[in-house]
Chain A
Amino acid sequence: MMSEEPIRRVAGLDRLIHEPARMAIVTILSTVEKADFLFLLHHTGLTRGNLSAHLTRLESAGYIRVEKTYRGKVPQTLISLTEEGRTAFETYCRQLKAFVNSLPEQKNE
């Protein structure tokens, strides 16, 4: 019988990050210092509305910083991971790895 440990581990994963679209956004932002809306749109393949909604959720949680600025005369939305977001992502990766490692080996069928 499977131990309860892996179940506890997966239940403890940060659900805000675990959602696939948000995981992609946070992963991209963990690799860069900052990126604009177009860059995230291009790399995630999400629609504008979808991306905007996910960014709002991440911003409300304090995981990302959204900065409205101008590059020349063109308005630009710059998005970066906050310290809290970076810590949350690192914790999520650690927990995910621990969960996978705690699973019993599966036999190839």
Chain B
Amino acid sequence: MNNPPEREIRQIIRKTQREWYADGIWEMGFGGAILLIALFYWVSEWLNLAQRLGMGLPVVQLFFFVAAFLGTRWFIAALKERVAFPRTGYVVFRRPQPRLWWRRIALGFGVGMAVGGLQVIFAGEGSKSVAWVGLVFALVMVFLSLRFGVGRFFLVGLATFGLGMGAAVFIHGEWAGMAAFFTAFGAINLVSGLVTMFRFIRRYPVVPEGQEEE
């Protein structure tokens, strides 16, 4: 049944929540964190850490994931302050309970556990785990796309799935496959974020100081 006021309220809430992703800054932060993780895999591959650290490597990997996701917080806040707020206004989104940084730690921990778990499950099966890791990240992007109505996340999700499959098929060695996948995935997010940010900057000029007031 049609219900204009109720539907309108839902649309306004969704549009306001979507604002967080409108400037591409979140993707750039996320892409940067993923590239840091890729760097970890490249260094691990280069120094052959898998053999040197043995079972200690997944623990180091877990801490690296958490640190990378926490680092995005500072980056996103700094860029929002310089790029988004002078154009479309200052906003503080409601902090979910538990507080945001706990969520970030949980996110980093969860992703680290998922990736580590898949590596353990598919140990000795070449780079098969890369395909599954690609699928996990692809599903995350598709979920974000549907939850907030951001179409480009769906495309990034599809590309992520393709990258995971590609890395699993064409790159030999699990750590090299992971390194290649995370590099490409991080780069895709970074590029998508950059393009979105430049379009945002072109579309919304900076409101001169003092003019934004009532």
Once the chains are docked, how many angstroms separate the CA of A76 from the CA of B90? 9
The docked-state distance in angstroms from the alpha carbon of A51 to that of B17 is 21
Interface centre among A38, A43, A75, A77, by most B CB within 10 Å? A38
Interface residues of B in 141-174 (CB under 8 A from A): none
Q: Return the chain A residue nearest B14 by Cβ.
A: A31
Bound-state Cα–Cα, A43 to B16, Å: 8
Segment of B37-45, B53-61, B185-193, B205-213 engaged in the interface with chain A: B205-213
Instruction: Number of A interface residues at 8 Å Cβ cutoff, please give it.
Output: 37
* Bound CA–CA A27/B95 (angstroms): 16
Which residues on the B side are within 8 Å of A28 (C-beta)?
Answer: 12, 16
Chain B residues within 8 Å of chain A by Cβ, number: 27
* List of B residues within 8 angstroms of A55 by Cβ: 214
Within residues 30 to 72 of chain A, which ones have a CB less than 8 A from any CB in chain B? 30-43, 48, 51-52, 55, 71
Chain A residues whose CB sits within 8 angstroms of the CB of B16 once the complex forms: 27-28, 31-32, 43
Report the separation of the CA atoms of residues A51 and B89 in the bound assembly, to the nearest whole angstrom.
14
Residue A100 CB within 8 A of the other chain: yes
Closest 10 CB pairs of A and B: A39-B89, A38-B89, A38-B212, A36-B90, A31-B16, A33-B92, A27-B12, A35-B91, A52-B214, A42-B88
Enumerate 18 A-B pairs (CB-CB under 8 Å) in ascending A order: A23-B8, A28-B12, A31-B17, A32-B16, A32-B91, A32-B94, A33-B93, A36-B90, A36-B91, A37-B89, A37-B213, A41-B89, A42-B89, A43-B15, A75-B210, A77-B213, A93-B6, A96-B6
